[in-house]
Amino acid sequence: MTIGDAAKASGVNAKLIRYYESIGLIPAAGRTAAGYRVYSSSEVNVLRFVKRARTLGFSIERIQILVGLWQDRSRSSAEVKRVALDHVAELEAKIAELRAMSDTLTHLAHACHGDERPDCPILRDLEEGGGNCCHEPPP
Amino acid sequence: MTIGDAAKASGVNAKLIRYYESIGLIPAAGRTAAGYRVYSSSEVNVLRFVKRARTLGFSIERIQILVGLWQDRSRSSAEVKRVALDHVAELEAKIAELRAMSDTLTHLAHACHGDERPDCPILRDLEEGGGNCCHEPPP
DNA sequence: CCTTGACCTTCCAGTCATTGGAAGCCTTAT
DNA sequence: ATAAGGCTTCCAATGACTGGAAGGTCAAGG
């Protein structure tokens, strides 16, 4: 199997496979006499594992850990679970951050007429730093 | 006002102010005889605007548009609203993506015993590509 | 007057996970 | 023989910063 075949079989771009090899995420593939990389089905399985993990948003660093655990017969499921839950915590933090942004902007956009006039609460918020909301009376 | 003062006043790092200038997000500041950048309060206002917009997750590209609209007296609020809603749409798309990841992983982690044994549904999912979920019977 | 320390300047490099391109070699088919 | 397509390496770019090195400038204190 050449790198192109492995790419098709795993769903990971050939370019990306080389990159993963270069950063040490996957071990260096074998080579033909001409220098072409050669892949076995077990190496394709690793690539598929990596791809699925990326799809779930794991960082390369954590995927390295997961691959290590995957190939370690004496692993404990607790280790795997901890890595996964650490990632979930990061995802939730990011979601909360984006949620706050979206809610604020949605609120502002709702208050904006969206017509041909220049007056706009969105710009007013950006101008004032969002410190004083239009709905809260001054103390 | 030197760049350090402007940084304190705006909340934007001096290094970042230079970066914003280098990419053309803000116009080049005036200079003293010695070459130090000089800022007026109106320039600090622009920096604050940019900072607030970044806090809301706007890209530099969109902030450029927003600053332009902000300083355009003949703008229509509709234009501003469209930029904001485009961004909200992107935020929501990203949130949905992260939500899906988090939910999948939370589900898998829940199914994982998290003890000293090696058996782990999380690794099984990564291995199999998440294609066949444990709870769905085969057709 | 000189030094110290805090500022300012520019430029270069690295982050993260890719993606793109250029230049050149190898294999297969016509 | 040649053309197409795949493979190789290396370099550069993405977005939005952040860090550091090397050197110039300014105000205060000895």
Q: What is the CATH number of the domain that holds B70?
A: 1.10.1660.10
User: Do B65 and B92 lie in a common domain?
Assistant: no
A43, A70, A97 - which closes a domain: A70
* B32 CB neighbours strand C below 7 A: no
- Domain count within chain A: 2
Asked if A120 lies within 8 A of B80 by C-beta distance, the reply is yes
Does residue B47 share a domain with residue B3?
A: yes
- Minimum mean pLDDT among A10-14, A55-59, A77-81, B130-134: which range? B130-134
DSSP string, chain A: --HHHHHHHHS--HHHHHHHHHTTSSPPPEE-TTS-EE--HHHHHHHHHHHHHHHTT--HHHHHHHHHHHT-TT--HHHHHHHHHHHHHHHHHHHHHHHHHHHHHHHHHHHS--SSSS--HHHHHHHHTT-S-TTSPP-
Give the nearest chain B residue to A123 (CA atoms): B70
B84 → closest Cβ in A49, A75, A122:
A122
Of A47, A70, A93, which residue constitutes the final position of a domain? A70
Are B4 and B45 contained in the same domain? Answer: yes
Residues B101 and B118 occupy one common structural domain: yes
My answer on whether B58 and B6 are in the same domain is yes
Domain boundary among A49, A70, A91: A70
As a whole number of angstroms, the distance between CA A101 and CA A83 comes to 28
Q: Are residues A50 and A91 in the same domain?
A: no
In a shared domain, residues A47 and A83 = no
Provide the residue range defining the domain that includes B24.
Answer: 1-74
Residues B3 and B20 in one domain: yes
Query: For residue B27, which amino acid is it?
Result: P
Claim to verify: residue A62 and residue A82 sit in the same structural domain: no
**What is the C-alpha to C-alpha distance for residues A99 and A58, in angstroms, rounded to an integer?**
20
d(CA A32, CA A36): 5
Contacts of A25 (CB under 8 A, 6+ apart): A50, A60, A63, A64, A67
Looking at the structure, do residues A53 and A84 belong to the same domain, yes or no? no
Chain C bases closer than 7 A to any CB of the protein: 7-10, 16-21, 25-27
pLDDT digits (tens, 9 = 90+) for B33-81: 999 999 999 999 999 999 999 999 999 999 999 999 999 999 999 999 9
List of chain A residues whose C-beta atoms are within 8 Å of the C-beta of residue B88: 102, 105-106, 109
Residue A133 pLDDT level (bands cut at 50, 70, 90): low
pLDDT tens digit sequence for A52-65: 999 999 999 999 99
Q: How many CB pairs under 8 A join A and B?
A: 164
pLDDT at B138: 44
